[in-house]
Chains A and B, each alone.
Chain A
């Protein structure tokens, strides 16, 4: 075997200590230590998040914004505390700009139905990119069906980066909305969102950024970005499932009608007609995910404590180690190799289908994703039905990568290569 590549890891980052914060990592799968490399699907949760949610249910559970009793006041303070944490995390101007939703998917659907649907007319255009997750494609297709607007798609280059010249050509006076992923979930490509946002806004388009894969790897400042909407899910950022954030520019949110009706989103209800609550509650109908908001706040605190920059440096070093080691495997082809990328590696191995890889790796304790990653157009672009994807998080180590590589070699041995 060749000598292992040497990679400079940041000194201050103590990955062994980080790993101890994640109880789930300490287990065996099929008799082998768990190696969790499916973080782009969902990340594991640190003890701080688990305990915050547990404490909430044990000590403070009540409905929010309703009762005058002590528990309700406590629950409301905790829930709204999560919003304050999210505001600070995105550096939004005001807490009213932070809408709690179920996740990124719901955030995009909210904007599509509440912002786009009432405004768009036949002849208007919505611009997305070839890299988008289905959740940043299908809601816009639905709005196009409903309004007669047209969907335009920025193509990608063979390495999986956006074709910026084509973006300039496609961006026109009819472009009303530009919706783009911060980071591609299938390829890991980091899009130049600051530049794209500036260009699209200058052309008069509204800009929505799907940050589901962005926030776990890059610090986000919505004021500096000057985007109109930014959406993310807590569960990819070490928080719970079932909650996410839609940031919206205040004046834009003010002008949007409610999306769902129900309790909490109203000011007055008469059978003749009702009036709406103020932001952000206008968009939060029904009892919200209170414990999840508490968990989100705890996750953001956790990420702050470790430092997103330190996490990003650790992941970048691990990514270069992974790329070097994966090159040792005969017949392995990377899918996507954009110069700017987050710690996501998509690949195929000649003669071994990604789904067989998924099963074989699982037997070695290694969890990866195999499939189309909810990005079928990306699979079509590369002419593959599916890829295997390893995605890294703050708690992954070079030993995890070594286990991945050994398991992939094992898969090739089992299938005997392509004879």
Chain B
């Protein structure tokens, strides 16, 4: 296992300069995610208009894997329908937990996170933002926890 498989340039870049790292004023949907084991904490905001994710963002603090995963997620789901975002959530979950045989490249930039599956202790870092987005889209009130 090469460390660079986990910390690819794109991960390092999105950790240093996370995209859509802001709150959305008056966002109709938001959810809080927390990983008590690591202390990773984030809030995901989503602006959904006519079943489409018009805008999505996050704020919070976490490790490089959780920050880059959240950042890449916002880029990937912006403009998608809620149904498409949910399908992507399922694909990502399978990719990160090693349950999918599908070619990760079809996920585009998100494929950079594929290396996480070889680090069981870090999978929850990468899935936190996705679980939180899912909760935001479904209007769940209880904070999401991965541990």
Contacts and interface: CB of A to CB of B under 8 A. Distances in A.
Interface stretch (B49-57, B61-69, B82-90, B95-103): B61-69
Contacts of A203: none
A355 B16 contact: no
A30 B1 contact: yes
Nearest to B15: A415
A419 B39 CA distance: 24
Given A371-B37, A386-B38, A359 B122 contact: yes
Q: Which of A30, A359, A360: most chain B Cβ within 10 A?
A: A359
B39 A386 contact: yes
Interface residues of A, number: 20
B16 A416 contact: yes
B38 A355 contact: yes
A356 interface: yes
A379 interface: yes
A353 interface: yes
Given A356-B7, A356-B63, A419-B16, A372 B1 contact: no
A377 to B, nearest CB: 13
Interface string B1-25: 1010011000010011000000000
B131 interface: no
A353 B64 CA distance: 7
Per CB-CB distance, the 7 closest pairs between chain A and chain B, nearest first, are A385-B39, A353-B63, A355-B63, A386-B39, A363-B3, A356-B64, A356-B63
20 contacts: A30-B1, A353-B63, A353-B64, A353-B67, A355-B38, A355-B65, A356-B7, A356-B63, A359-B3, A359-B119, A360-B3, A371-B38, A385-B39, A385-B40, A385-B61, A386-B39, A414-B3, A415-B15, A415-B64, A419-B16
Given A355-B38, A385-B40, A416-B12, 12 more contacts: A30-B1, A353-B63, A356-B7, A356-B64, A359-B119, A359-B122, A385-B41, A386-B38, A386-B39, A415-B15, A415-B16, A415-B64
Interface of B: 1, 3, 6-7, 12, 15-16, 37-41, 61-65, 67, 119, 121-122, 125
Interface of A: 30, 351-356, 359-360, 363, 371-372, 379, 385-386, 414-416, 418-419
